[in-house]
Structure 1
Amino acid sequence: MTLITRHFLTIPASGEVHQRIVHYRRCGSGPPLLLVHQSPRSSAEYEQIMHKWASFFTCIAPDSPGFGQSDPLPGVPEVGDFADALVEFLDILGVARCAAYGFHSGGIILAHLLKRHPDRLSTLAIGGYAIWTDDEMRIFGERYIPEFHPSPYGEHLVWLWNRILEQSWFFPWFDVRDETRLSVAHADPERVNAVVMEMLDAGNAYRFGYRAVLLAKPEVPQRDAVTAPVLISAYRGDPLCDHIDRMRSMPESWQTKKVETPVEHQELSLSFLKEHGQADCPRLAEDDSVGFIAVDEGLIHWRGTRGAQNMVLHAPGAELTEPQAGELAIDVPGHGLSSECDDYRAAIKAARRQLGAEKIIWPELPNGEPDILYPDLTPDRFGGYLSRAWSAARASALFAPWYAADSDHAIPVEQAALSPEAIALRARALLRAGKAAPKWHHEIALQLQGDPRI
């Protein structure tokens, strides 16, 4: 299977707009293909497609502004701002023209990009294109995108779990009627968790990406317009499938089609994109002070100065913090943004060698019993794992170890550590680590016993 690599790219400041960071995934070889995900997802949504399409294209999938690991746009951006942001990304990346694919809101953004910057796309395939009626827009309104902020005791997580779960049952998710039921309903904890984690990354910024496309007018050119070839297709069960019938007058270069399954939609889109190939992909730009390095079992996320004397490792269930000048830090395997692996020592050794660090700074061994310190955070049908992570993260600011809630283990109260935002970061780190946390605890214990493997 072709390796998907991950990168960061800085978009320089322009006028009064500060610089922003874009995170993107890359896979394959051949002509460049831009993939734009739907809201409130991230580029991780496209990993399966990227593996399948890597034989034909250099697949480039950025996290849209405010989603995944990409910085949000300032203010309250409109759909045109998201389209222009993609062009800025392509400019800095070094891609002058490419094919593109977008699903749902990703397709809407790309359609607006095609109108505003017609020379940048050679062809465009879209999965499900929303054309809302006035009545539907009145139903949606701001109700579809409520504020999302962490609460002191984690109540927001109960709402989040059920909101993501039920959006596969009804559309829109809050309109619970027999008439709004979806045929694609499921209750798969892993699938729900994938979206939950992306919502935790986006936070309240998720509203702006959603809002921009919900309020966007359908971008369908006049029949006599000359544009790059466009295919809009949708599969049965997609809530936007019937919107295909709402497509009226279109340019000759545009076509629509309904298919039966998601696989048919992907195969049709790939075939269409291959018909309009471009030149090979140029060398793509990326930042040199943050990124990912490939080790045998996956990717290690790092930040700091290559060739630094010290490579700093974090505690179990945590993730890297901003390194000091002249240092570098990594997310240890299975934590933060780094891949899980079986041999922690080999992965850390490979990271030190590739990044040129002279010395590894190990964390202190956390106080407490590993079997209790790190609760089971496997996603369950009712989302209880989210509450467990939040409770442990909150208690860790009050007791050491967190589970020993008595006067002998009380620690001084720091209000900053009890802010919902601070708890949210610690809880997310625990959720990202999951079962890797006790494994990393064990590795630190071996190091303190003088294990010579690094």
Structure 2
Amino acid sequence: MPQITRHILTIPGTHRKVHYRRCGSGPALLMVHQSPRSSAEYEGLMRAWGEHFTCIAPDTPGFGQSDPLPDSAEIADFADAVCELLDALRIGRCAAYGFHSGGIILVTAIKRQPERFRCLAVGGYAIWTKAEMELFGERYLPEFHPSAYGEHLTWLWNRMLEQSWVFPWFDTREEARLSVAHADVDRVAQAVSEMLDAGNAYQAGYGAVLRAPRDIPPVDAPPASGNWPPCLITAYDGDPLQEHIDRLGDMPKGWQAQKVASPDEHQEVSLAFLKDYTDGGPCPELAQDEGEGWLALDNGQVHWKGKRGGRLVLHCPAREMAEPTGGDIAIDVPGHGQSADADDIAATVESAAAALSASDIVWPHAPKGDPDRLYPDTTPDRFGQYLQRAWQASRAEAFFEPWYDASAANAIPLDPARLDPHALHARALARIRAGDASRQWHQTLLSRNES
């Protein structure tokens, strides 16, 4: 099965970084995710479609690990950002796939630069009525900021969970119920994780999609380059956008829409369509930054930043890399931040150091305390309590060391900066991402110090 690799690319002439995933071989296929998600939602699909295409899935601006556009950005800016990425990657015409918001961005891109695309497959295309837009109003995209006691995490869990129960997520009328309701902990936790990555930047990207004009290319106005690139729009049973298939009206030559029974059927007909209309050559070598990326090691991918050949500076358990300085290199220790888990953290660190030609490794000391108590369980659970466990530990560690021993003997000087909600949020997010790897890394450091 094709493997997914991860990359960072700074758009030339800007300071805007784009994170993208790549998988497979063959003609290039651009895959644009829905909001407020990231390219991570396509990992399974990329492995399947990577047998036929070089799948390239960026995090759109402000989501995942990609830098945001200005808050004033509208849908045209997000569409142009897609084309800027294609330029930076040195990709000419390519096929494209987008689901929900991703489809809106790509249809807009086709209207603005049709010559960039061979074909497009879309999963669910929204044509909102005036009444529906009034229902959304300002309630659908509330501001999302850290709160002192973690209340924002309770809201986030329930918002993501109940989005499959009713649509929109806050409409609890019986007629708003969905037939695809679930309480799949892994699915909800993944959506929560991606929303935590985006933070309040989700408002700009998602808002631009909701405000986008609800039109497809006109039937009687082909582009100067000829016909519009062919497009297939499908929506499956249970998708709240399936009824919007009937709202599309007349479409240009080569455009078609249909309702399908299931997500699997949507993917099958989309892949067949993309293959039928893609006759391009192999994907060119893709550009990526030299000072940041992911090492594809035998036991997992390791996220790194810095200058190859410098000292490799490691962070403590339940933390993430700091920006390297003075020619150093930094990594997210395996299982932390944006690095994959590894069975043997020390061996993976050594492999990363060799791959980066590090001059030395700066190992941290293990934090004070019992590792079985320092790192509360952050395995996602049905009620989202793992989020609060991470938050409470992150808050308590600003008062005591170790944090779990709340006594005068373990009190530490209070620093208001450590209790700032944004600082708490960053520490809690690091704990959530690391999970059990925190305890494993702690034990590794203890073993190393003892030896």
CA deviations 1:386-425 (Å, max 9, x no partner) are 1110010111111111111111111111111110000000
User: How much does 1:259 deviate?
Assistant: 0.7
Aligned position for 1:57: 53
1:80-159 equivalences in 2 (<5 Å): 80-159=76-155
- Structure 1 distance, partners of 2:160, 2:72, is 24
SS in 1 for 2:2: coil
- Structure 2 distance, partners of 1:429, 1:106, is 28
User: How much does 1:449 deviate?
Assistant: 1.3
Contact 1:112-1:219 at 8 Å conserved across structures? no
Matched, 1:299 2:295: no
- Structure 1 distance, partners of 2:239, 2:414, is 50
SS in 1 for 2:351: helix
**Unaligned residue ranges in structure 2 (runs of 5+):** none
Aligned position for 1:11: 11
- Structure 1 distance, partners of 2:272, 2:233, is 13
Q: Which amino acid aligns with 2:12?
A: P
1:393-432 equivalences in 2 (<5 Å): 393-432=394-433
User: How much does 1:19 deviate?
Assistant: 1.7
- Number of aligned residue pairs: 445
- Structure 1 distance, partners of 2:365, 2:349, is 17
SS in 2 for 1:100: strand
SS in 2 for 1:190: helix
Aligned position for 1:196: 192
CA deviations 1:109-143 (Å, max 9, x no partner) are 00000000111111000000000011101101111
User: How much does 1:102 deviate?
Assistant: 0.1
Q: Which amino acid aligns with 1:5?
A: T
Aligned position for 1:290: 292
Matched, 1:177 2:178: no
User: How much does 1:297 deviate?
Assistant: 2.1
- Structure 1 distance, partners of 2:258, 2:286, is 34
- Structure 2 distance, partners of 1:93, 1:338, is 23
Matched, 1:68 2:81: no
- Structure 2 distance, partners of 1:325, 1:114, is 44
SS in 2 for 1:119: helix
Aligned position for 1:356: 357
- Structure 2 distance, partners of 1:350, 1:276, is 43
User: How much does 1:201 deviate?
Assistant: 0.6
CA deviations 1:194-241 (Å, max 9, x no partner) are 011111110000011111111111231222332000000011011101
- Structure 2 distance, partners of 1:345, 1:295, is 13
Q: Which amino acid aligns with 1:69?
A: Q
Aligned position for 1:28: 24
SS in 1 for 2:312: strand
Matched, 1:374 2:370: no
The more displaced of 324-333 and 57-66 is 324-333
Contact 1:149-1:156 at 8 Å conserved across structures? yes
SS in 2 for 1:144: coil
CA deviations 1:56-99 (Å, max 9, x no partner) are 11100000000000010013211001001111111111112110
Aligned position for 1:223: 219
**Unaligned residue ranges in structure 1 (runs of 5+):** none
Q: Which amino acid aligns with 1:64?
A: T
Q: Which amino acid aligns with 2:283?
A: C
SS in 1 for 2:87: helix
- Structure 2 distance, partners of 1:48, 1:219, is 30
**Which of the numbers 262, 279, 286 marks the counterpart of 2:281?**
279
User: How much does 1:427 deviate?
Assistant: 0.2
Q: Which amino acid aligns with 1:3?
A: Q
- Structure 2 distance, partners of 1:181, 1:38, is 21
- Structure 1 distance, partners of 2:396, 2:11, is 39
Matched, 1:383 2:397: no
- Structure 1 distance, partners of 2:238, 2:123, is 12
- Structure 2 distance, partners of 1:448, 1:112, is 57
Q: What percent of counterpart residues are identical?
A: 60
Q: Which amino acid aligns with 2:137?
A: G
Contact 1:108-1:219 at 8 Å conserved across structures? no
SS in 2 for 1:257: strand
Q: Which amino acid aligns with 2:124?
A: G
- Structure 1 distance, partners of 2:230, 2:237, is 24
1:328-367 equivalences in 2 (<5 Å): 328-367=329-368
Could you list the runs of 4 or more consecutive aligned residues of structure 1 that deviate by over 6 angstroms after TM superposition?
A: none
- Structure 2 distance, partners of 1:286, 1:397, is 39
User: How much does 1:296 deviate?
Assistant: 1.2
SS in 2 for 1:145: coil
- Structure 1 distance, partners of 2:86, 2:262, is 32
Aligned position for 1:316: 317
Aligned position for 2:2: 2
- Structure 2 distance, partners of 1:341, 1:164, is 29
CA deviations 1:306-340 (Å, max 9, x no partner) are 111x1111111111111112110111110000001
